[in-house]
Amino acid sequence: MAATPKVDTGFPSFLEEMKWRGFFEQCTDEANLGKLLEEEVVTGYIGFDPTADSLHIGSLLPIMGLVHLQRHGHRPIAIAGGGTAMVGDPSGKSELRQMLTLEKIEENLTGIRAQLAHFVEFGEGSTDGIMVNNADWLKDYGYIEFLRDVGRFFSVNQMLTRDSVKTRLEKGLSFIEFNYMILQAYDFMVLNRDHGCRLQMGGNDQWGNICSGIDLCRRFNQNEVYGLTFPLLMTASGQKMGKTADGAVWLAAERTKPFDFFQYWVNVDDRDIPRFLRLYTLLSRERIEELEKLEGADIREAKKILAYEVTSLVHGPAQADAAAKATAALFGGAADASTVPRSTRPKTDLDGDGLSLLEALVDSGLLKSKGEARRMIRQNAVRVNGELIADEMRALRENDVADGRIQLQVGKKKHHHLVIES
């Protein structure tokens, strides 16, 4: 979904929409930034460190920030942080991030670049986005030269007051992490110098880093630049956004299947629906406000729309349609093998002693290990063809096949079909 620049969003200004949708947490100089946004095309950036080969739902909020910036006719820059990933951002973390090899960072960058290009339109036009890798200006910068050129502009006393440093001092902060703030500030300075970037956006845990970048742009480039932060989201139940019992919800279909991605949004807390519709969809203000009025059982309809819109943004309309059909079939009591996640098995696997149910649950991706499968069976959470299973030694045999498949289910929401090939 490449966003189209200069879309009629229904909002007079970028900042007004950001406030209404709930993106606006802190701004360094709202009045002057607002004036600048009205008078010219503003270049703004957000950084994404490649700590994995895919971004996750936690990254979707800043991605949407870039989408809205471009839709209002401004120019987004996405930094794929190949340089800063070698250090590790301590912001919002209670312990040292795992150090990544150069090879792993480059592998991760490949996946992240493709994902960002799905949301932001990159090109040569005045509002076309730019994608850069900060390793281009950080990796080969000599340590002594960097200290002399950049380090002299930073006060250790001031750095110690930044939240990203302060919250880690009690548990221990490595020297390499302490330098992350300087590297991120230098990113802002380079983008301001080379691309005229006047705005940095990010999560509110980046506030101190952003302010350091603003100071460096003033000192190094003698330019006035601005910062805008988004709220750090927790669900209404107090959980970190995008975390489930099975781990993170990823944007890559290979890590989180589109069906499971859809289910995450269908199953969010009712109290989160209005906020998530504003933050994670491009629905109009009028449509969102209509959905926010739904109550009781009707909220289910708002959940389906939320799930469809977010899945369509991330995976495309075809995958969203398939996930919606699968969900409708499952809740209607008839699982459709063409839409429910499935895998194939040869009929010979069912011969003799049969196919171990524990093995099938793990191989299908429904559960991560045989130990977890045993626990779920003990908790009366596993079904085969709708039948509750109590026997951990249960095997799947030919008489379990109906319409060419065996239906596996864990809990109320997780389904998988084993298609048996003769």
Final residue in a domain of this structure, among 283, 301, 331: 331
For residue 390, the domain's CATH number is: 3.10.290.10
394 and 280 both lie in a single domain: no
pLDDT score of 327 more than 90:
no
The residues pairing with 402 across neighbouring beta strands, listed in sequence order, are: 405
Sign of CA dihedral 367, 373, 378, 382: positive
**Contact by Cβ (8 Å): 308, 300:** no
66 and 205 both lie in a single domain: yes
85 and 217 both lie in a single domain: yes
Final residue in a domain of this structure, among 331, 363, 384: 331
Asked if the structure places residue 37 within a domain, the reply is yes
Higher pLDDT, 174 or 16: 16
Per-residue confidence band for 88, with pLDDT thresholds at 50, 70 and 90? low
Asked if the structure places residue 262 within a domain, the reply is yes
180 and 122 both lie in a single domain: yes
- Per the structure block, which two tokens stand in for 134? 């900060």
320 and 376 both lie in a single domain: no
193 and 255 both lie in a single domain: no
Asked if the structure places residue 2 within a domain, the reply is no
375 and 300 both lie in a single domain: no
pLDDT in tens, 240-279: 777 665 678 999 999 999 998 998 998 888 999 999 999 9
pTM score of the predicted model = 0.76
104 and 215 both lie in a single domain: yes
Region 203-210: mean pLDDT is 91
In the chain, the largest separation of any two C-alpha atoms, in whole Å, equals 78
Task: Determine the pLDDT at residue 382.
Answer: 92
284 and 398 both lie in a single domain: no
Asked if the structure places residue 6 within a domain, the reply is no
Q: Are strands 26-27 and 226-230 parallel, antiparallel or unpaired?
A: antiparallel
148-162, 182-196, 326-340: segment of lowest average pLDDT: 326-340
Asked if the structure places residue 8 within a domain, the reply is no
31 and 157 both lie in a single domain: yes
* CA gyration radius, the chain: 24
Plot region of 84 (φ>0 → left; ψ -120 to 50 → alpha; else → beta): alpha
Asked if the structure places residue 235 within a domain, the reply is no
Final residue in a domain of this structure, among 298, 331, 364: 331
**Contact by Cβ (8 Å): 306, 277:** yes
pLDDT score of 233 more than 60:
yes
Task: Determine the pLDDT at residue 94.
Answer: 46
- Per the structure block, which two tokens stand in for 385? 């063809």
Containing structural domain, residue 366: 342-421
283 and 360 both lie in a single domain: no
Q: How many domains does the chain have?
A: 3
Asked if the structure places residue 7 within a domain, the reply is no
For residue 259, the domain's CATH number is: 1.10.240.10
325 and 369 both lie in a single domain: no
pLDDT score of 333 more than 60:
no
pLDDT in tens, 298-316: 888 999 999 999 999 999 9
**Contact by Cβ (8 Å): 182, 150:** yes
Task: Determine the pLDDT at residue 243.
Answer: 66
